[in-house]
Structure 1
Amino acid sequence: MRTFIGSAALALAMLGSTALSAMAQETIKIGYVDPLSGGGASIGQIGLNQLNFIADEVNARGGINGKQVQIVGYDNQTNPQISLVQVQKAIDEGIQVIVQGNGSSVAVAVSDFITKYNERNPGENIVHLNYAAIDPVLTNEKCSYWHFTWDASADIKMEALTNFMKDKEDIKKVYLISQDYSFGHAVAGAAKRMLNEKRPDIEIVGDEYHPLVRITDFAPYVAKIRASGADTVITGNWGQDLALLIKAAGETGLDVDWYTFYAGGAGAPTAIKQANLENKVFQINEGINNLGYGPAEERAGAYMERFSSAPVYFPRVFNMMDMVFKAMEEAGSEDPGDFIPKLVEMKHDSFAKGEEGFMRADDHQFFQPLYIAALGELGEGEKFDEEHTGWGWKLAATVPTEDTLLPTTCEMERP
């Protein structure tokens, strides 16, 4: 009897295991490793919201290759060491696609980890999809076959931004302030180098760095900007570090123009409106609302309706996932070893306006049109505001794809 019961239990266990395995095979799991707590949580949650929205869109259409898509969130607290623990946890749970973006120091650590993992575990391929970390090292000396990025690098963005700024004769004194890690230093370095080349008459009156997502009162930093006599600030800040910096500027009445990469992120548009900095805060990115492109307006509207309390989204995440899912379908597989060749050199109509971009094979950098915009009151026909402020992004300049093509020093090792 004991033998029979034991055999029956074993059979049931094996049946259960087989059933779980079958269920797993019917699901494409994507691991999202970004901050879901701490100072970067507001930005990290946006990425998770958007990935869930996209997964639901895909699943409603029958999934990818007949399989449903599931997004699994892993909180990395914007910490490289914690990130590697979370990536390994995702791998242990059978996940082969890792999405990460916030924090270039995190991205470098994750990319290195995944590259070495794939070298040590042939056939167990993992890919790193990067939607926000833009330290140029990621597509130059630290490039990897297993890493792809959809946000323009700091050098690409600064090249476009300084081309826009060089014709503004009222810019005389520039203050640089950024977070004290690899990306912040890359932004400041590029700004100094490019402004010196294009407008050597501009004086850099400040070069400031502060701890990443740890400052709660930026008033002392704003006081330094005021004392410098700057008429313009360039910052690579994102998340709460930008929102709180703008908030402090508004509270002290600092009257300067701001040139940013991430003023469209969570909390920043609200801070800009409250500071009454209309048409004084510029950002450069891969898309804004109110460009009049119907497909983007329809999809963005559906997203904002679902996440009405936090309606911010990243156009590049739509580009990224649309391309990755297309690559999976063309390969007939969700294994990165199978679909990466389809992703390399893929052309894709950008989310924001339907203009063509492409993935460069040399360094796995996605190139696309970029847009420079300032936040201000909505005009006639402009229906999208930001964070329910009544203000929206207003186009100041379009940078065509061909004008973003900076060279790379990447010497990629391919399997």
Structure 2
Amino acid sequence: MKIERRQALKSLAATLFAPALAQAQATGAPVKLALIEALSGAFANTGEAVFRNLLWAVERVNQRGGVKLPGGARPLVLERYDSKGQAEEAIASLRSAIDDGAQFILQGNSSAVAAALLDAIDKHNEREPTRRVLYLNYSAVDPALTNERCSFWHFRFDAHADMRMAALMQVLGQDKGVRSAYLIGQDYSFGQSVLREARRQLGAQRPDVRIVGDELHPLGRVKDFLPYATKIKASGADAVITGNWGNDLTLMVKAARDVGFDGKFYTFYGNALGAPAAVGEAGVGRVVAIADWLPNLPTAQSEAFYQSFRQRFPRPQDDYVHMRMQLMIEALAQAIERAGSVAAVPVATALEQANVSLSGQSGRMRAADHQFQQTLVVGVMDRQGSPGVKFDVEGSGYGFRVVRVIAPEKAELPTSCRMSRVSV
């Protein structure tokens, strides 16, 4: 039975993702996608990880012949622009991408950069209607981006911070071992919104939990988190709640381990990019992460999806794979074909109705605010080989066991968006 299952998984992976190194059959002019991300500096590892995900997704579309349009099939081309994680550099990259003929802008790592790009794209599209672009966001999760700052030109494919916090609270709410919590985050719009929502939801769902610390730190500039870790331990907190990502998370959990903090970490991004290896054995049963998908989701389709990514990017440190980025590219390809055009307005109108599935995972775009609705999962760190942990993270020997699956309709939250729509 094990051999048959293994063969079935290999067959499924080959059918779905036979990698994407084959020459595309599309012959028309390429559809240019511009990735604007930190590809150097403190968060370069996050930008490169995103690039691998998007490259794989683009390859898959091209392997099946590109996007079908009335004038013939056209391949997708992913071009890289280094923002260095800075808003000013991102705006300069946006101008370069548009001058290079990019029609779709992809960015996500940093809500501050996202807000700057969104403003610039709104202004550009108003000034130059013949060169309009769409902005596809895979990770910038400040709730304002699809609420009071929502835009017809912006589509978010990650669950926003309030949705992620609500999912985490479904687990923390039942964790009676947590009687006190320390809130810590990066000092910009996203980090601030995470702590604000943590306070609100703790008050509503766990009023018995005392908040024993509440602080923000500079984004990407702290090299030594020992002073923060020392305060966390001294506070007597049973748990830390944080939206930190990249090196700001990795360095923090390393410091917490070094000072002997033995509480839990309820995180948005504790499942990748060095965090599991950094915390090591101390994280078993203690690091909790919320995601749109985890490698140990117990389905054959999910396993085949992950195995195929590992075949494409075989080094352990390259296994930062996100389903939402794959669904985003699938949704874009679907919208272009449905619109019969790569022009911004018809593609945006079609993208509002996107409903896509891949490897047993699915999602739909909510037209009211352009917030993607999808399944969320919560996982707890454990040793590879433990029940429910077939796959580890980045060769660390530790992976995440799925403890909660939240259906899209349960993860969905209301929106305050009042969007101004644009017609052709």
Q: CA deviation at 1:380?
A: 5.1
Instruction: Give me the whole-angstrom Cα distance separating, in 1, the residues matched to 2:230 and 2:364.
Output: 43
Equivalent position of 1:371 in the other structure: 377
- The structure 2 residue matched to 1:128, chosen from 109, 130, 135, is 135
Runs of 4+ aligned residues of structure 1 deviating over 6 Å after TM superposition are none
Say whether residues 1:52 and 2:55 are aligned partners: yes
- The structure 2 residue matched to 1:163, chosen from 158, 170, 190, is 170
- The structure 2 residue matched to 1:341, chosen from 342, 349, 352, is 349
Q: Would you say the 8 A contact 1:304–1:312 is kept in 2?
A: no
SS in 1 for 2:282: coil
SS in 2 for 1:221: helix
Q: Would you say the 8 A contact 2:272–2:394 is kept in 1?
A: no
SS in 1 for 2:256: helix
Provide, for residues 45-95 of structure 1, a one-character-per-residue CA deviation record: whole Å limited to 9, x for no partner.
011111112222222222122112211110111111111010111001110
Equivalent position of 2:15 in the other structure: none
Q: CA deviation at 1:390?
A: 2.2
Equivalent position of 2:154 in the other structure: 147
Instruction: Give me the whole-angstrom Cα distance separating, in 1, the residues matched to 2:166 and 2:297.
Output: 23
SS in 2 for 1:233: strand
Equivalent position of 2:88 in the other structure: 81
Q: CA deviation at 1:292?
A: 2.8
Could you tell me which amino acid in structure 1 is paired with residue 298 of structure 2? Answer: G
Structure 2 residue runs without a partner (length 5+): 1-25
Equivalent position of 2:145 in the other structure: 138
SS in 2 for 1:123: helix
Equivalent position of 1:314 in the other structure: 322
Equivalent position of 1:11 in the other structure: none
Q: Would you say the 8 A contact 1:29–1:71 is kept in 2?
A: yes
SS in 1 for 2:184: strand
Instruction: Give me the whole-angstrom Cα distance separating, in 1, the residues matched to 2:114 and 2:107.
Output: 7
Q: CA deviation at 1:25?
A: 5.7
Say whether residues 1:297 and 2:303 are aligned partners: yes
1:16-35 matches, cutoff 5 A: 26-35=29-38
Q: Would you say the 8 A contact 2:262–2:282 is kept in 1?
A: no
Instruction: Give me the whole-angstrom Cα distance separating, in 2, the residues matched to 1:345 and 1:202.
Output: 41
Provide, for residues 74-124 of structure 1, a one-character-per-residue CA deviation record: whole Å limited to 9, x for no partner.
011111111101011100111010000010010011111111111111232
SS in 2 for 1:45: helix
Q: CA deviation at 1:350?
A: 5.8
Instruction: Give me the whole-angstrom Cα distance separating, in 2, the residues matched to 1:331 and 1:125.
Output: 15
CA gap of 1:381–1:201, structure 2 versus 1, over 3 A, is closer
Structure 1 residue runs without a partner (length 5+): 1-22
SS in 2 for 1:276: helix
Could you tell me which amino acid in structure 1 is paired with residue 46 of structure 2? Answer: I
Higher alpha-carbon Rg: 1
CA gap of 1:233–1:380, structure 2 versus 1, over 3 A, is closer
Could you tell me which amino acid in structure 2 is paired with residue 337 of structure 1? Answer: V
Instruction: Give me the whole-angstrom Cα distance separating, in 2, the residues matched to 1:295 and 1:392.
Output: 19
Say whether residues 1:107 and 2:110 are aligned partners: no
Could you tell me which amino acid in structure 1 is paired with residue 227 of structure 2? Answer: P
CA gap of 1:368–1:243, structure 2 versus 1, over 3 A, is same
CA gap of 1:278–1:152, structure 2 versus 1, over 3 A, is same
Equivalent position of 1:329 in the other structure: 337
Q: CA deviation at 1:315?
A: 1.5
CA gap of 1:374–1:222, structure 2 versus 1, over 3 A, is same
Q: Would you say the 8 A contact 1:265–1:312 is kept in 2?
A: yes
Instruction: Give me the whole-angstrom Cα distance separating, in 1, the residues matched to 2:227 and 2:401.
Output: 31
Q: Would you say the 8 A contact 2:339–2:350 is kept in 1?
A: yes
Instruction: Give me the whole-angstrom Cα distance separating, in 1, the residues matched to 2:89 and 2:345.
Output: 26
- The structure 1 residue matched to 2:244, chosen from 220, 237, 247, is 237
Instruction: Give me the whole-angstrom Cα distance separating, in 2, the residues matched to 1:43 and 1:262.
Output: 11
SS in 1 for 2:195: helix
Could you tell me which amino acid in structure 2 is paired with residue 179 of structure 1? Answer: Q
SS in 2 for 1:279: coil
Could you tell me which amino acid in structure 2 is paired with residue 58 of structure 1? Answer: V
Comparing 325-334 with 28-37, which one deviates more in the overlay?
A: 325-334
TM-score (norm 2): 0.89
Equivalent position of 1:62 in the other structure: 65
- Paired residues, what number? 390
Q: Would you say the 8 A contact 1:350–1:368 is kept in 2?
A: no
Equivalent position of 1:357 in the other structure: 363
Provide, for residues 259-315 of structure 1, a one-character-per-residue CA deviation record: whole Å limited to 9, x for no partner.
000112311122132x53112100111000122333332232222223223211121
Q: Would you say the 8 A contact 1:43–1:265 is kept in 2?
A: no
Could you tell me which amino acid in structure 2 is paired with residue 243 of structure 1? Answer: T
Equivalent position of 1:42 in the other structure: 45
Provide, for residues 6-63 of structure 1, a one-character-per-residue CA deviation record: whole Å limited to 9, x for no partner.
xxxxxxxxxxxxxxxxx99611111000100111111110111111122222222221
Q: Would you say the 8 A contact 2:161–2:193 is kept in 1?
A: yes
CA gap of 1:209–1:403, structure 2 versus 1, over 3 A, is same
Equivalent position of 1:288 in the other structure: 294
- The structure 2 residue matched to 1:97, chosen from 99, 104, 129, is 104
Q: Would you say the 8 A contact 1:261–1:284 is kept in 2?
A: yes
Q: CA deviation at 1:339?
A: 1.5
